[in-house]
Amino acid sequence: MTGPDANANVGIVIVSHSPDVARGTADMVRQMVGDEVPLAWCGGNPDGGLGTSVPAILDAIDRAWSERGVAILVDLGGAETNSEMAIEMLPEERQGRVLLCNAPIVEGAVMAGTEASAGSTLEEVRRTAEELRPA
């Protein structure tokens, strides 16, 4: 395989209760790292209101899938709970390659994307994003 391959880098998924927040955060990441990182977002509930959806999270994981793994960044507790449920629903061989990052969604996603674009491992991507956690 020659040339840049986005799937050679860890993927990033952004899960927000607001589709606008998720889309805007993804736009920031994309502007920072281009197409070097598989990136997907989801936000809002199926009725168009605030919330998150397990099927939408599973779809986002598929869209950002990389054999190197996928880091998920979330905004609120419900997004975290639904992301954990989505991870549990993945095929067993994928479950261990998807990690939640305990980090601020915007700053964490930008830092995770930047780290992923450098070819870092999934654990390195998570650690970099989580360095932004308040003490």
Catalytic residue among 9, 13, 17, 61: 17
Contacts of 77 (CB under 8 A, 6+ apart): none
Rounded distance between C-alpha atoms, residue 89 and residue 83, angstroms: 10
Is residue 18 part of the annotated active site? The answer reads: no
Helix 122-130 / helix 105-117 crossing angle, nearest 10 deg: 140
Contacts of 126 (CB under 8 A, 6+ apart): 71, 99, 101, 112
> Which residues are known catalytic residues?
17
